Structure 1
Amino acid sequence: MPKRLEEMLTDIWTPLFLAWITVLPYISMAPVIQSKSLQTGSIVVLPGTGEGERVLSRAKRGWVWNQMFVLEEFSGPDPILVGRLHTDLDAGAKNIKYILAGDGAGTFFVINDKTGDIHAMKRLDREEKAEYTLTAQAINRDTDEPLEPPSEFIIKVQDINDNAPEFLNTPYHATVLEMSDVGTSVTRVTATDADDPVYGNSAKLVYSILEGQPYFSIEPHTAIIRTALPNMDREAREQYLVVIQAKDMGGHMGGLSGTTTVTITLTDVNDNPPKFSQSLYHFSIPEDITLSDAVGRVKANDRDIGENARSAYDIIDGDGIDVFEITTDPQTQEGILRVKKPLDFETKKSYTLKVEAVNVHIDPHFISRGPFKDTATVKIAVEDSDEPPVFSSPTYLLEVHENSAINSVIGQVTARDPDASASPIRYSIDRHTDLERQFNINSEDGKITLAKALDRETDPWHNITVIATEIRNYSQISRSSVAIKVLDINDNAPEFASEYDAFLCENGKPGQVIQTVSAIDKDDPKNGHFFFYSLVPEISNNPNFTIKNNEDNSVSVLAKHNGFRRQKQEMYFLPIIVSDNGNPPMSSTHTLTIRVCGCSSEGVVQSCNVEAYILPIGLSMGALIAILACIILLLVIVVLFVTLRRHKNEPLIIKDDEDVRENIIRYDDEGGGEEDTEAFDIATLQNPDGINGFLPRKDIKPDLQFMPRQGQHPAPNGVDVDEFINVRLHEADNDPTAPPYDSIQFYGYEGRGSVAGSLSSLESVSSDSDQNFDYLREWGPRFKRLGELYSVGESDMET
């Protein structure tokens, strides 16, 4: 039907339909006939208490007496009459009043209290509320007394097609395998209609495709979308946009509709084989390429994606099938050729390979299309490179006896240049592996000689590295390890395994084992060690001891008799000869020292000293040592006390009867040098006529700085030492800047006209001359005071 004609019919029938449903309630109304509790049309008869009954005519079957209907969304100029309430007690009396209560009473619905007519005052929406429950009652208008019990009835809102279908999950996305059969289900869409599904066709939906044909179709009632074309290829087109319409009223004219979009994506299947971009590949590589390095890459393209595009590569034919290998790069899906064996330009200059790419995942539905693989040819050219020398063996094992002569040849290594130029080779030893320079090598022929004597017992193995260098190109070098084993000769005599301490009990029995002796040998014979033990020939018939072979390279020393006593002999010496089974045999003599000891009845050694034997029984060795230590400590204390007492009693001033000339004073302290000479004005003592002034000390700086002190008055010419010292003592007593510094002062001037002469006993003519030393009693205290000021030692002042 043309669209224009459909619109014209819609414009004509829609007003007619609305008019019909509007007048429907009034058509159903009829004259009231007495009938108890019966509704006909839109008249509700309330039950009364009278004996008579009012019967209604034109009863419509199927209607329930307590229901009324009103059309939704009706909006006329006047309120719409919904129905009428009537009681069988109403005989035309005017004293009956009708009352309405319940849902919407007074707002949506209003009742005429005289006639019982119910009107809808507002537009109703069934989708908001489908029915209203109300209560009607008739009362006496004058007395407000109920004439009958309340009656409940329902007003239902009748539906009209005022809601269009809606898709809730819009937009939709769906997938379907490419190459699917016609009619394959893709997805299902669902639309909803808010209209009443049980009244009319307002909610009866029909689905159709507006866009997406001829690729897809939809079932009109189930809304299942299916494929409509065979062999849809993802590689040709991957995505489709389909527009779906849902229309109510069963799809007839005048119905409302809604639309949605469905994006349908074709998913991949493995329907395409891999294909090499070229049938022949060329690569060039140097012969010295490192193993596992990449030679080149090949690529087989696949129109599929994901797992269906994965390919595995393999070398299926060619003359380099054992020299090269190919792996798959998981990121780029390329085949990577690698070298798995060394190449040699001089041996083979080129290789030809046949490479195959095969899909990893094969779809059985498309295997009939043919093999999902492809092949290509790879040619590899090997380029010449300057290679380092090649040793005849990667490692060498040489043997040499430890007594070999110096410069003797141990062995030989050989290397060659694999290049066509065949450069001569020069040999050398890596001295980092031969720090002691025990070996030499002939640089021309590679013969290794001995440079120093070897000792297997010190170093049984020597590992050196030999370097081979091309003479024409010194950068081309190779290294080889040479292990040199030092062979043993019998050059060491056997020795005792340890320093044995043998003890013999005085109460021992004849034949008692005193000590088991074993030996060791630094040599390493092939058949193992076997030692021979014997006593020296001079004492082979030893009266006290003998030896017994234990058949395990050891011997036991046994006592021949009992009755050994420490008082008689405390210690015995037993020389034993140990020989090996070498060729020639080596031997050595070792002396076993045997001590005679006192033992308990169980044979436990208690004491081996003779002194301990004669001590009282109740005094042990530990107690004796403790007593001796106490005596020594007391002696030390007494010596210290006497020494300190003696020093304390020595007088500070020399007595008259002491010969001062024989007291030589030594000064071990050399002083501060020039600082000591500058610490005091020595010139003043040497020349009393000098001007009294202040000369600061240079050896120690006082903490507090004071102005230089002023002298009492310049010393006149010709003053003696007595007056000079008094002046200095007075100044020192009143000067806070002159503490007694720790320095030794020298006074070279002894004064003028001293009747005592020289103060030094060293200058005396005779050591036994009778000189008067009374001046010491007079000048001693003065010098002592001066020494305290200048920290002169007590012994110096006495001198």
Structure 2
Amino acid sequence: MNHHFFKHWILMIPLLWPCLKVAETLKAEKAQRAVPPPGRAKRGWVWNQFVVPEEMDTVQHVGRLRSELDNGNNSFQYKLLGTGAGSFSIDERTGDIFAIQKLDREEQSLYILRAQVIDTTNGKAVEPESEFVIRVSDINDNEPRFLDEPYEAIVPEMSPEGTFVIKVTANDADDPTTGYHARLLYNLERGQPYFSVEPTTGVIRISSKMDRELQDTYCVIIQAKDMLGQPGALSGTTTVSIKLSDINDNKPIFKESFYRFSISESAPSGTSIGKIMAYDDDIGENAEMEYSIEDDDSKTFDIIIDNETQEGIVILQKEVDFEQQSHYGIRAKVKNYHVDEELAPAHVNASTTYIKVQVEDEDEPPVFLLPYYIFEIPEGKPYGTIIGTVSAIDPDRRQSPMRYSLTGSKMFDINGNGTIITTNLLDREVSAWYNLSVTATETYNVQQISSVHVYVQVFNINDNAPEFSQFYETYVCENAESGKTIQIISAIDRDESIEDHHFYFNHSMEDANNSSFMLIDNQGNMILLRNKTKGYLAKIGE
């Protein structure tokens, strides 16, 4: 008896084990321990392994449950008990079990029921109540599903063949141990020839280089089939959005090969002349560029960049003059800020464009030939003496004649050709310098005027006689000794001299023979007068 039980227990293990889900392992193990093997059980129950296919629309016979004590006299009554008993029915007389509802293995793969048999003649249980298991067998009724949708991936453009993009994974709810119901194969439905998918792993790889500037986004469709793609297999699809990230594989190129701008000659330094624009098929940092001026030795122009629009703004770096140069030809260069050193030799280079700048003529004010004038004239010259001539010209091409006017002193006047003359006698001792202002006005446009400073220096001539520095009235005692100094006399001269004035003194004509006094030179501009006994006159000279 024990040997028979052990033998059938060993045979049932491989039949029951595959049907158990991980989540139901403990419950299943308990059920297995309670299920007797086919044939005579210890307590008299007899049944085979119960298996019913899922998704069957008709009533299905599952198997027969009976007691060994049942001799067919129809006095035994069989009953099903347990949580899942509502999905099944039992013929109370024969013990035949039927599935009366459509079963879904993916919802419940095992039903653990209890069996009871009663002798209707006395109402007593014939056998002890026991548990048994009904296993729901799998059919391939679930298609593969991609549970991690949506799939998105980013890969650099121009990536080589074989570059990993993304891995997609489908899930099949069918029993993986039943045939090939959950064995999947992946197939690329859309995305050739740029992508491929590994059939067993779902790994998507690059199969051909792609240029983001031609197309930056790809929609790839992946299909997963169960049963290894055999006839009757179910399938599911997913969409993978693949974006190409940019690499710096394009050089900036000017939109125009020639630009023409104009600038007024009166424009100050820093004036914007115009804008130039280069475009770069790359994006982001790879499209950032810088401009520069080539072939401009005069350093007249410069280019700054508008960081928002990436335009190059041509500016005037120093003022221009139409009369000196009426047009300029310069070349502008553009290149990327950030250059991939590996790509630079073959792909990323600078490009250039030609710019012609026309200088526009403006009506400019007169220009004096000198920034200021200094003239010299001796004092005492008669009225109408010419001091000098100032001259202004019209810098414009029409060369307007000039009218001159003078301010600063009524001692001078100016005529139509810029000649300054005196209108009064000049005295250096009254004023040695005159600060004048001469204004030139264009005849064709009286709004255009300019002024210049004129400085006139009056030279000295010896037109002033020496003078005694004061009136002298000298006294001497009547008994004064001979040779006694009685007065020191000094003189001045109002004229200007490079060297110090030197005066000589002598007696006046009426006192020339007067020997009571004498004059002594004191080696300067002073004379000592001695021994005065009566009135005395002295003369002074240079």
Same fold (TM over 0.5): yes
Correspondence for 2:352: 375
Q: Distance in 1 between matches of 2:409 and 2:36?
A: 137
Structure with the higher fraction of residues in strand conformation? 2
Correspondence for 2:267: 289
Is the Cα contact below 8 Å between 1:47 and 1:87 reproduced in 2?
no
User: 5 Å matches for 1:407-556?
Assistant: 417-420=394-397, 421=399, 423-424=401-402, 470-476=442-448
Deviations 1:417-472 (A, max 9, x none): 5435265366799xxxxxxx99999898899xxxxxxxxxxxxxxxxx99975443
Q: Distance in 1 between matches of 2:332 and 2:414?
A: 49
Is the Cα contact below 8 Å between 1:426 and 1:471 reproduced in 2?
no
- CA apart distance, 1:169: 5.6
Matched, 1:72 2:54: yes
Correspondence for 1:119: 98
Q: Distance in 2 between matches of 1:339 and 1:376?
A: 18
- CA apart distance, 1:72: 0.4
Q: Which has the larger radius of gyration?
A: 1
Secondary structure in 1 aligned to 2:295? Answer: strand
Secondary structure in 1 aligned to 2:101? Answer: coil
1:284 maps to amino acid:
S
Correspondence for 1:192: 171
Correspondence for 1:157: 136
Q: Distance in 1 between matches of 2:57 and 2:412?
A: 123
Deviations 1:270-321 (A, max 9, x none): 111122345444433321124333223333333333332222101133233x
Q: Distance in 2 between matches of 1:285 and 1:338?
A: 10
Is the Cα contact below 8 Å between 1:37 and 1:47 reproduced in 2?
no
Is the Cα contact below 8 Å between 2:268 and 2:318 reproduced in 1?
no
For structure 2, list consecutive stretches of 5 or more residues without a partner in the other structure: 1-33, 373-389, 421-436, 454-542
Correspondence for 1:228: 207
Q: 2:250 aligns with which of 269, 272, 283?
A: 272
1:475 maps to amino acid:
Q
Deviations 1:158-193 (A, max 9, x none): 110012223346564443222110011222333232
- CA apart distance, 1:37: 6.6
Q: Distance in 1 between matches of 2:151 and 2:35?
A: 56
Correspondence for 1:779: none
Correspondence for 1:38: 36
Question: Structure 1's 343 and 141: CA in aligned 2 closer, same or farther, altered over 3 A?
Answer: same
Secondary structure in 1 aligned to 2:285? Answer: helix
Q: 1:347 aligns with which of 324, 328, 335?
A: 324
Is the Cα contact below 8 Å between 2:249 and 2:347 reproduced in 1?
no
Question: Structure 1's 39 and 424: CA in aligned 2 closer, same or farther, altered over 3 A?
Answer: same
Is the Cα contact below 8 Å between 1:46 and 1:86 reproduced in 2?
no
- Structure with the bigger RCO (C-alpha within 8 Å, sep 6+) is 2
1:86 maps to amino acid:
R
1:375 maps to amino acid:
T
TM-score when normalising by structure 2: 0.61
Q: Distance in 1 between matches of 2:266 and 2:171?
A: 76
Question: Structure 1's 424 and 279: CA in aligned 2 closer, same or farther, altered over 3 A?
Answer: same
Structure with the higher fraction of residues in helix conformation? 1
User: 5 Å matches for 1:354-753?
Assistant: 354-369=331-346, 371-389=348-366, 417-420=394-397, 421=399, 423-424=401-402, 470-476=442-448
Secondary structure in 1 aligned to 2:228? Answer: helix
Question: Structure 1's 169 and 370: CA in aligned 2 closer, same or farther, altered over 3 A?
Answer: closer
Is the Cα contact below 8 Å between 1:46 and 1:151 reproduced in 2?
no
Is the Cα contact below 8 Å between 2:117 and 2:127 reproduced in 1?
yes
Deviations 1:312-360 (A, max 9, x none): 101133233x221111233443322111211112233333323211111
Correspondence for 2:291: 313
Q: Distance in 2 between matches of 1:182 and 1:440?
A: 98
2:446 maps to amino acid:
Y
Secondary structure in 1 aligned to 2:62? Answer: strand
- CA apart distance, 1:115: 2.3
Question: Structure 1's 198 and 358: CA in aligned 2 closer, same or farther, altered over 3 A?
Answer: same
- CA apart distance, 1:129: 2.5
Is the Cα contact below 8 Å between 1:362 and 1:372 reproduced in 2?
no
Q: Distance in 2 between matches of 1:221 and 1:125?
A: 28
Question: Structure 1's 137 and 393: CA in aligned 2 closer, same or farther, altered over 3 A?
Answer: farther
Is the Cα contact below 8 Å between 2:80 and 2:116 reproduced in 1?
yes
Correspondence for 2:524: none
Q: Distance in 2 between matches of 1:428 and 1:157?
A: 123
Q: Distance in 2 between matches of 1:476 and 1:441?
A: 24
- CA apart distance, 1:143: 3.2
Correspondence for 2:157: 178
Q: 1:167 aligns with which of 146, 151, 154?
A: 146
2:274 maps to amino acid:
G
Matched, 1:334 2:311: yes
Question: Structure 1's 364 and 253: CA in aligned 2 closer, same or farther, altered over 3 A?
Answer: farther
Correspondence for 1:104: 84
RMSD: 4.0
Correspondence for 2:225: 247
Correspondence for 1:323: 300
Identity of aligned residues (%): 45
Deviations 1:226-257 (A, max 9, x none): 1111x322333444333321100122222111
Is the Cα contact below 8 Å between 2:35 and 2:132 reproduced in 1?
no
Q: Distance in 2 between matches of 1:118 and 1:443?
A: 139
Q: Distance in 1 between matches of 2:166 and 2:341?
A: 25
Is the Cα contact below 8 Å between 1:66 and 1:153 reproduced in 2?
no
Is the Cα contact below 8 Å between 1:37 and 1:46 reproduced in 2?
no
Deviations 1:67-100 (A, max 9, x none): 6321101234xx3221222334435554332221
- CA apart distance, 1:362: 1.2
2:159 maps to amino acid:
S
Is the Cα contact below 8 Å between 1:276 and 1:375 reproduced in 2?
yes
Is the Cα contact below 8 Å between 1:167 and 1:192 reproduced in 2?
yes
- CA apart distance, 1:102: 1.2
Correspondence for 2:239: 261
Q: Distance in 1 between matches of 2:313 and 2:394?
A: 32
Moved more, 306-315 or 145-154: 145-154
Is the Cα contact below 8 Å between 2:51 and 2:136 reproduced in 1?
yes
Matched, 1:205 2:188: no
